[in-house]
Amino acid sequence: MLNERVSAAKKIATELHQAEDAIDEAMIRIAQLAATLPTARRQTNMSAIVGQEAMSKVAHALAAAGEVRQLLTDAHLALTVTQKEVGLGTRMFGAGVKPPAASLDQGSNDQLAVEAAAQSLAKAS
């Protein structure tokens, strides 16, 4: 039973990290596009109103991607709570180093998960 839970947790962690990486990549590409649009407008000596609607849509897309990223980080923290609930304790699945508790996003909508993550990280140290 423990092996099944560990296996499931590893799969979830892998997919979560892939989703986090994907949204980061999307944000990078959208930000690059947002920088290219006004640069191209300047280089072609176009009026500021040329392409304004497209620029606005790209800016909104970047903001929406930021909201998606926040939701994924909230889910990540909530899974820390779930991890304890299913008896897996403090483990690290996937790549990367977990941030120290002080660097966790305090703007999260899930303060309980933030506190649980901080406790979990403290025990891991």
pLDDT in tens, the chain (125 residues): 788 888 999 999 999 999 999 999 999 999 999 999 999 999 999 999 999 999 999 999 999 999 999 999 999 999 999 888 888 876 555 555 555 554 444 444 444 444 544 454 444 43
Based on the structure, what is the number of domains in the chain?
Answer: 1
Is 76 part of a structural domain of the chain? yes
pTM over 0.95, yes/no: no
The answer to whether residue 116 sits within a structural domain is no
122 within domain boundaries = no
The verdict on residue 117 lying in a domain is no
State the Cα–Cα distance between residues 20 and 73, nearest whole angstrom: 8
Does any domain span residue 33?
yes
102 in a structural domain: no
Residue 106 lies in a domain: no
- Per the structure, the complete domain to which residue 28 belongs is given by 2-95
Does any domain span residue 110? no
88: its two tokens: 């897996």
Helix (H) or strand (E) holding 71: helix 52-85
Looking at the chain, list the stretches that DSSP marks H as alpha helix, in order from N- to C-terminal side. 2-43, 52-85, 111-124
Tokens coding 75: 């889910």
